[in-house]
Chains A and B, each alone.
Chain A
């Protein structure tokens, strides 16, 4: 045999890229239980980033939509003050000294920028009709509520216009309440009992109305004075004010605050907020939450990276003989390092891809289970989780690769 061969004279002494990948792929296939374990870690990491951020984003969109359905150009008045202004009994104890009353609301109707205004009271009571009973949330309000909240009626009419202060024994019920209580019987015109009082059903809500915390299908709406009577509370829970234009909102807020302050003996004891402010707050909170859960999931990715490092280190020790052999067959330290790195990179790429698939599948599952939450992972989470998977995979396999490259072939081969 000749000392040098014509075939070997030509190629540079460097393993071909495709052979590097094939070798790594073979090694991954050859040690499948190890590979599956590491893939699992990587997959869980990537998938959890996707699913958690999808949930966060879904929640954010959900809240945003809920607020949109709440109505437009809305100013919300709540009893109690959330910031300290002046010194009074209320500010010292946190208790509102004065109620937010129906007369207060009436005083607000003078403003020309206000198109509609709806005082609200909430509570819960037992509804009963011919022995059928059910605990329902009860909403006390006025005629204007329907338009302010963009709700729809399915049947009959909404609360009557007229004097707010006069309790009227009528009610509008949600579609679900109607089905549960009346079943196949006609509900309109029937007298139902709420607590101790009797009310005539004059309308049934359309089923599409939904809003934060309240499913319109499940509530009973009665005139606000009736609700105050039923729950025996003089104060209102909220006042919803619809302004003529968006630009008028600051003026309406100022007017509301001033009017109520004047009526409450100079005490600023209500909080006036806009829907936008609430929405922005929720948006910020949920946005931060998405990043937080994304971050937590990213930690699991890092853990997966560390796991890959450990398992690769073990793999290198388990495969000392193989690495020694490769060196004996003419692999340089550089080639060995490359082989181990490529193997780890293949692994994390594969784990990343499977993780992305499972994450998308899981998000789809969440959407299937909770149709109202649009759980789509945001693009940044998809890109970031995949990149983090690959970078951690590569980074954490540097050490094992170094170790393999430095192996003394004599020692490696003598260990059988």
Chain B
């Protein structure tokens, strides 16, 4: 369902061209759980942005659900992001002036969903994340773990097929980080494709497929038995 063909992504830094992604070929099937690891500057974040349609490749083709998304217009790209891709960030990126419920509602607002339909879905999402009693709290009134769960609820409210997480536990303590990972894995078990970029070996070991990157290239791509079986 995700297929990258000869993807290159170059940046111009001064008079030097940096190859952030250098001939990436990759296929990820629906429902996979993939961790992307590698040192800083290895291109893993660029890969994630590219998969999330926040960035366009300099050359190459990206097929999402059998559709070449590198050819989409800006408007169509935004629409695809809204419906097919969910983002979870290290810094949560909640809008501080909006409540938890309103933050979760955002993708539906941007999609033009009517308020009545939105509210039912937001309530359901809050319940699923055990945040029903925090619906009217502002982000500053929530703990780090709760904030990230709000972000996950927001990322999944449009029922996307792919969930992209960029260091989702980077700003969390051990326990909240564990909770967040379990939440993500539970979503993955229900069918969503989960791609996590991380530095954390412990998290990397939990995934069923691990991609190591170095200097814009895929160094290794291995399927593994998870260190801790996420299935209950």
Residues of A within 8 A of B (CB): 1-5, 7-8, 11-16, 19, 23, 26-27, 29-31, 321-322, 324-335, 409-410, 413-414, 416
Contact = CB atoms under 8 A, between A and B. Distances in A.
A332 B75 contact: yes
A328 B52 contact: yes
Contacts of A334: 75
Contacts of A329: 81-82, 87, 106-107, 110, 154
A413 B158 contact: no
A264 B186 CA distance: 114
A272 B63 CA distance: 93
Among all A-B residue pairs, the 8 with the closest Cβ atoms? A330-B82, A30-B97, A332-B78, A11-B112, A13-B79, A1-B159, A3-B161, A329-B107
A5 B159 contact: yes
B41 interface: no
Given A332-B77, A413-B93, A414-B45, 19 more contacts: A1-B187, A8-B111, A8-B113, A8-B158, A8-B159, A11-B112, A11-B113, A15-B112, A23-B109, A321-B93, A325-B93, A328-B87, A329-B81, A329-B107, A329-B154, A330-B82, A330-B110, A409-B54, A410-B54
A413 B89 contact: yes
Contact of A322 (B78, B95, B109): B95
Contacts of B117: 7
Nearest to A333: B74
Contacts of B81: 327-330
Contact of B109 (A5, A16, A332, A413): A16
Given A3-B161, A5-B158, A328-B87, A12 B106 contact: no
11 contacts: A2-B159, A13-B82, A326-B110, A328-B52, A328-B81, A328-B93, A329-B110, A329-B154, A330-B79, A330-B81, A416-B91
Interface in B64-122: 65, 74-75, 77-79, 81-84, 87, 89, 91, 93, 95-98, 102, 106-107, 109-115, 117, 121
A330 B52 contact: no
Contacts of B74: 332-333
B63 to A, nearest CB: 14
Contacts of B111: 8, 11, 13, 15, 330
Contacts of B191: 1
A401 to B, nearest CB: 15
B110 A15 contact: yes
Nearest to A330: B82
A15 B109 contact: yes
B181 to A, nearest CB: 19
Nearest to B105: A19
B85 to A, nearest CB: 8
A325 B109 CA distance: 14
Interface in B38-52: 45, 49, 52
Contacts of A330: 78-79, 81-83, 107, 110-111, 158
A7 B140 CA distance: 31
Most-contacted residue by chain B among A4, A31, A325, A409 (CB, 10 A) = A325
Contacts of B79: 13, 330, 332
Contact of A1 (B49, B121, B160): B160
A324 B154 CA distance: 15
B103 to A, nearest CB: 10
A321 B65 CA distance: 29
B190 interface: yes
Given A3-B65, A416-B91, A327 B113 contact: no
Nearest to A322: B95
Contacts of A331: 78, 82, 110
B29 interface: no
A329 B179 CA distance: 23
A327 B54 contact: yes
A334 B121 CA distance: 26
Contacts of A335: 78, 110
A12 B161 contact: no
B156 interface: yes
A335 B106 CA distance: 13
A5 B121 CA distance: 12
A20 to B, nearest CB: 9
A328 to B, nearest CB: 5
